Every structure is written in C-alpha cells, then in structure tokens.
C-alpha cells in the first residue's frame, strides 16, 4: 500500500466551521458541536443502499450457523467490541456469535498498543485464531479507511470464501478495495481536527446499530418491536422481561411473572406459552418448528 497522504482524507481536514474553538464560550462550543453532529445522521442516510446488502448477508451467515466478526483498531475497534458485547444481553446470543476484534487485543481497549494497527499479518492471525469459515461475515471498521490490520484480515477472509464488508468515513477508501460490500460515509471534517472518535465514531456506531439489530430481527430475536430474547441478568432486566411479556400478550403483571418463572426466565418461551395457550414443552416445540420466530408459532 502506498504511503498515506493525510491531506486527501476528509477525516483529517480542518473544519472551517470550528476555527477558534479555544476562544469560544462553552455555550458556543456545545451549540456548534451539536450542529456538526446533526450532519452525521444525514451522511449515513445517503449510504443506506450500501448498508442493506451487508445486513442481508449477515442474516444469511447467521442462518448458516456462521458468525458476525468486526475488526478494527483504536476507536473503530472499540466500537466493534462494544456492539458485539451488547448483543449478548440484548438478544440472548452466545458471545461467540458476534465477535469484536481490536488490533492489539484486549489491552488495546484502554491503552494504545504500539504498531498493532499497522500489521497486516496480525489481522490475518486473529481470524485464523478464531477458526474463520466461509459461513462467517467479516466487517472491517476504519475511520481513515486504510488500516493495515483490517486489510490483512479482509484479505484472509476473502481467501477462504467468507463474505466481507467495510465501514469507513472517507470516500474512495483503501479498505473498500478489499471488501465485497464497502460502506463509505462522509460526514465532513471533524469538530476537532483529526479526532475520529467524534463524528466518524458516531457514524460508525449508527451503522453498527443497524447491522446488529436488524440482523437479529432477521433471525427471530424480536417480536413486534420487543427484544424477546433478552437475558435477565440483573434485577432491572428481570423487571423489564416481565414488562415485555405484558406488552406482548396484554396480561397483567402477576400473570406475566408466573409465566416468566414457569418458563425458567425465558421471555420468548413465556410469550409463546401465553399466546398459544400451551405448556412449556409444547411451546418449545412450536418455537423450534418456527425457527425461533414468535409469529411463526401463532
């Protein structure tokens, strides 16, 4: 890859609107930052056509027993790790189903690991360590659009037949050349020059939200607009689980709580038991036949 020219990257350009930040009042700065942030959602909206096929192929990977794997360095890597981690309690999936890889490993979540993001080989090695298969979906995330760690991983993924996608915040990004389905969002220069944890990070988070959430909807993890596979791992989530049962079935709190306990705290199972007037075993069979979709049991 040729030597990077930062002047050609939107994410590295100076923002003409934010000159004189150090002389602004707090009020002026927060108002200006908010205006800049509003541009992010508009920029993402222009790329929905590129995001849709990524979600479709992620759903397909899940249905084949494959995984969704994010790869990135720095802020981009941390956002991937965050999205992967949130899928476990939100959708009741195993941690291995959605994985976030960050250059430099777990230590890089809080402290930069020198040289890690510049290694093509490390990206490949991390995927080999996961025993990557052709059924997996690999998404490389890089605000700059040129991170070697990500490119190394993408090239390896494609070599074994896995579907690949990218999320970058510059047009004509280098990583786009190494993916089946590139997503390029241009939200303009950062509020603070070169600080890609800001607008670029927000754009990436919005897209990751779309990919993971809508992919989970596509495999039956949602009924109506309710997260029926939520894992009740604390008191707040136990109460939320009962509320979800109430909202899905229109029963009262006491009834929801009773079925929640009878279903051994499985929200989806409790809902199917109520809606189909079935015992636990019958409801379980109905869910299996419906591939996990509540509506398929009705």
Catalytic residue among 12, 36, 117, 184: 117
Task: Specify whether 86 is catalytic.
Answer: yes
Q: Distance (Å, rounded) from C-alpha 110 to C-alpha 160?
A: 32
98 - beta bridge partners?
Answer: 68
Catalytic residue among 47, 86, 125, 262: 86
Give the contacts of 182 (CB within 8 A, at least 6 positions apart).
Answer: 50, 165, 166, 168, 173, 175, 176
User: What DSSP string describes the chain?
Assistant: -PPP-GGG-GGGS--GGGTTGGGS-HHHHHHHHHHHHHHHHHHHHTTHHHHHHHHHHHHHHHHTT--EEEEESHHHHHHHHHHHHHHHHHH---TTTEEEEETT-GGGGTS--TTGGG-HHHHHHHHHHTT--TT-EEEEEESSS--HHHHHHHHHHHHTT-EEEEEESSTT-GGGGG-SEEEE----S-SSTT-TTTHHHHHHHHHHHHHHHHHHHTTT--BTTB-TT----SHHHHHHHHHHHHHHH---HHHHHHHHHHTTT-HHHHHHHHHTT--HHHHHHHHHHTTT-GGGG-
Task: Specify whether 31 is catalytic.
Answer: no
Catalytic residues: 86, 117
């Amino acid at each position: 890859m040729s030597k990077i020219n930062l002047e050609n990257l939107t994410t590295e350009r100076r923002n003409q609107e934010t000159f004189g930040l150090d002389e602004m009042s707090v009020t002026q700065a927060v108002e200006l930052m908010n205006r800049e942030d509003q541009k992010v959602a508009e920029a993402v909206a222009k790329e929905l056509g590129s995001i849709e096929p990524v979600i479709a192929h992620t759903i397909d990977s899940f249905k084949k027993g494959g995984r969704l794997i994010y790869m990135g360095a720095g802020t981009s890597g941390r956002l991937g790790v965050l999205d992967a981690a949130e899928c476990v309690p939100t959708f009741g999936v195993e941690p291995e189903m959605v994985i976030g890889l960050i250059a430099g490993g777990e230590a890089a979540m809080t402290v930069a690991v020198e040289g890690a993001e510049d290694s093509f080989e490390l990206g490949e090695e991390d995927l080999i360590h996961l025993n990557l298969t052709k059924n997996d979906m690999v998404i490389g995330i890089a605000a700059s659009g040129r991170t070697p760690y990500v490119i190394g991983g993408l090239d390896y993924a494609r070599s074994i037949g896995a579907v690949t996608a990218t999320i970058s915040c510059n047009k004509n990004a280098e990583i786009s050349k190494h993916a089946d389905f590139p997503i390029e969002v241009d939200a303009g220069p950062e509020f603070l020059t070169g600080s890609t944890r800001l607008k670029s990070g927000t754009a990436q988070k919005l897209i990751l939200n779309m990919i993971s959430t809508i992919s989970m909807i596509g495999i039956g993890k949602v009924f109506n607009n309710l997260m029926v596979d939520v894992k009740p791992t604390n008191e707040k989530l136990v109460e939320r689980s009962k509320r979800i049962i109430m909202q899905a079935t229109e029963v009262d709190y006491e009834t929801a709580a009773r079925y929640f306990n009878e279903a051994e705290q499985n929200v989806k199972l409790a809902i199917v038991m109520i809606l189909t007037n079935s015992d636990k075993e019958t409801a379980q069979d109905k869910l299996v036949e419906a591939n996990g979709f509540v509506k398929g049991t009705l």
